[in-house]
Chain A
Amino acid sequence: MMNTSEILEQLNCIFRKVLKNDSLVLTETTTAADVDGWDSLTNMQLITEIEKRFVLRFTFREIVKLKNVGDLCSVILSKLKQA
C-alpha cells in the first residue's frame, strides 16, 4: 500500500509531464494558484492522467471538493485502500 509521500512523488511526475514544467515541486499545501499553468483547462488533463496512473476513478463531486494537493492525496489514498 502506498503512503502519502509516495503518492505525492507520483503526482509530481504527472504534474511535471502534463504541465511541461520539470522544476515543479508539489507539497500537500500546493494549490492551483501556486502552479503556473494549472488552470481549469489543464485540471481535467491532470485528473485523467492521475486516474490512469493509479487505476481509479474520481466522481465529479470529489473533483469539485479538491482544494489542494493534500486533498488530492487523501482521496487517492482512501480509494486505494478501498480497492
Chain B
Amino acid sequence: MSFISFEFIILFVCCFLLYCLAGNKGRKYILLAASSVFIGYYHPMFLVTALLISLLSYYAGQCIEKVRLSGHARTAYAVTVLLLVGGWILFRYADKLSGNGSWLFPLGISFYTFQAISYLTEIYWEEEKPEKNLTDFLLYMLFFMKFLAGPIERSAGFLPQIRNLQKPSYPMMVYGLRLIVVGLMKKLVIADQLSPYINGIFDSSHTASGIQLLMACLLYPVELYADFSGYTDMAIGGAMMFGIALSPNFNRPFVAQSTTDFWRRWHMSLSFWVRDYLYMPLASATRRWGQWGITCSLLVTFVALGAWHGAGWTFVVYGLIQGIVIVYELKTQTWSNAVRKSRWNRLYSAFSVIRTYLVFALSLVFFRSASVSEACSFISRMSFQHNVSWKEMNIGMSDHICIVTGAGLALIFLYEYFMARTDLLERLSRVPLPLRWAIYYLVIFAILAYGKFGMEEFIYLQF
C-alpha cells in the first residue's frame, strides 16, 4: 500500500475522520489500528514480525531497568541488541543464502529495528526511562506514516507526542497537506519522470554509450533525492495532520560544501543515528589512538551505514567511499579553512559544492549497480566525449520530459532556497485568499498534467 495509491488514500481518510471524531483516549488506538492494517495489507507476516520485534524491545526495555541494580543491565542490553541485529541480518541475507527467493524481507524492518536499538540504548545509558504503556510503545514502533522508510524517530521526541495526542488543529492540517503536495511534486514530476530513463541506462549499462552513462550517473542523485525527500515530505505532512511532528530527514543536501556537511543534510535521521550509537562509542573507545582512532571509527561507521542499505559489497563500497572522503576532508581541514578565509572563498565554495555532488554521484553508481564489477565497468566506460548529439545526451528523454523535470527541479530548489530563510508554507496562509487558491490550483494542475502516475513504489522501500 504505497502512499500514492487508492487503498492508502481510503485508509488515510478513514483514519483521519475517525481520529478527529475520537476522544483523547481513542486516538492512539485508531492510529494503531490503521498502522496494523497498513502493515498487514502488504503481508500479514510483516505485521507479525514487526509486532514480535516491538514486543521484544518493549519487555527488554523494562528488563534492562529492572536488572540495573543487580548489575546485569549490560548483559540484558547486549543480548537484546544482538537478537535485534541478528534478526535483521538473518532477514537481510536469508534470501541470498537460501538462493531460492522464498524469503521475504519484511518491509520497514531496517527502520524499526534501528528505532528499537536507539530506544534500548537510551535506557541502558540512563538517558530515558522505559515506556510503561504498551500501546504508546507499539505506536512508536509501528506508526504507519513513518513505518516504511522513516524518518528513524527517537523515543525522546516521539513518545511524549503519543502520550498527549490532541485533536489536530486547522493550521497543522493545512500545513501537513501543503507538505504532502510538495512531496507529490518531487515524486511524480521529478523522480518518476526521470526513473525509467535512468533505470534503462543502469539496467543495460553494457550497451549504453559513455556519455549516456555519465548522464545517468549525474542524474541519479537528483532522482534519488526527489524520490526519498518526496516520500519524507509526504510522511511528515501526513503525520502532521494527526498533530505528530516527525524528524526532518533532508536539509538542502546539494548545497553541502563537503561530504562531511552532506551527511548532516542527507538522510539525517539515519546519519545522526549512526553518529550517536556507532561512531561516538567507537571514537570514544579508540580515542587513545589519536587521529587513527577517529579514522578507524569513521571508516567502520560509514561502512556500516552503507551495509545497512542492503546485502552486497556494492553498499559496503558505497559507504567506504563516503568514509574515505570524510577522512580526507578531516586531514585537509586546515588547508581548506585557509582557502575559505582567502579571497578565493567564493570560487572555492562553488568548486566544493560541485566536488561534493560529483563524489556522491560517483559513489551512487555502486549503490545502484548489481555488483561491484558492474559498477567499476560503468565508471570506467563513462566518457566526456564532445561532438555528441542531444539525442544521445538526454538518455532517451523527450524534450517535453527534459523541460518538465528541469522546471520542476528548478522550482523545488527555489522553494528550498526560500524555505531555508523563511517558512514559505506557513507564509502562504497570509497570502490573500484568491491568490492562495490560484497557487493551489496551479500546483495541483501541474502535478496532474506533468506528473507520471502508475509508478507507486519508492526507492527506499527496499531498505
Contacts and interface: CB of A to CB of B under 8 A. Distances in A.
A63 interface: yes
B157 interface: no
B200 interface: no
Interface stretch (A4-12, A39-47, A71-79): A39-47
Chain A's interface: helix, strand, loop or mixed, by majority?
A: helix
Interface stretch (B180-188, B278-286, B396-404, B433-441): B278-286
B293 A41 contact: no
Given A61-B125, A64-B125, A40 B287 contact: no
Given A45-B294, A64-B127, A20 B334 contact: yes
A75 B103 CA distance: 51
A48 interface: yes
B283 A44 contact: yes
Given A40-B279, A60-B281, A47 B287 contact: yes
Given A20-B334, A44-B293, A45-B294, A60 B285 contact: yes
A36 B149 CA distance: 32
Contacts of B288: 48
A40 B290 contact: no
Contacts of B298: 41
B204 interface: no
Interface in B301-332: 326, 330
Contacts of B280: 40, 44, 60, 63-64
Contacts of A41: 260, 294, 298, 326, 330
B91 to A, nearest CB: 30
B interface, size bucket = 20 to 34
Interface string A47-73: 110010000000011011100000000
Size range of the interface on A? 10 to 19
Interface string A13-54: 000000010000000000000000000110011011001000
Interface in B256-298: 260, 275, 279-281, 283-285, 287-288, 290, 293-294, 297-298
Interface string B43-70: 0000000000000000000000000000
Nearest to A59: B284
Contacts of B279: 40
Contacts, number: 37
A47 B280 CA distance: 12
Nearest to B272: A40
A60 B284 contact: yes
Interface in B221-242: none
A48 B290 contact: yes
Interface string B118-161: 00000001110000000000000000000000000000000000
A63 B127 CA distance: 12
A40 to B, nearest CB: 5
Given A20-B337, A44-B294, A45-B294, A63 B284 contact: yes
Contacts of B293: 44
Nearest to B275: A40
B330 A44 contact: no
B181 to A, nearest CB: 32
Contacts of B290: 48
A41 B298 CA distance: 9
A48 B290 CA distance: 8
A36 B289 CA distance: 25
Contacts of A20: 334, 337
Given A20-B337, A64-B125, A64-B127, A44 B287 contact: yes
B334 A44 contact: no
A32 to B, nearest CB: 12
A48 B287 contact: yes
Contacts of A51: 287
A41 B330 CA distance: 8
A74 to B, nearest CB: 17
A63 B326 CA distance: 23
10 contacts: A40-B279, A40-B283, A41-B260, A44-B280, A44-B294, A47-B287, A60-B280, A60-B284, A63-B280, A64-B127
Interface of B: 125-127, 260, 275, 279-281, 283-285, 287-288, 290, 293-294, 297-298, 326, 330, 334, 337
Given A45-B294, A47-B287, A65-B127, 14 more contacts: A20-B334, A20-B337, A40-B279, A40-B283, A41-B298, A44-B284, A44-B287, A44-B294, A47-B284, A51-B287, A60-B280, A60-B285, A61-B125, A64-B127
Closest 8 CB pairs of A and B: A44-B283, A60-B284, A48-B287, A44-B287, A40-B275, A63-B284, A41-B330, A64-B125
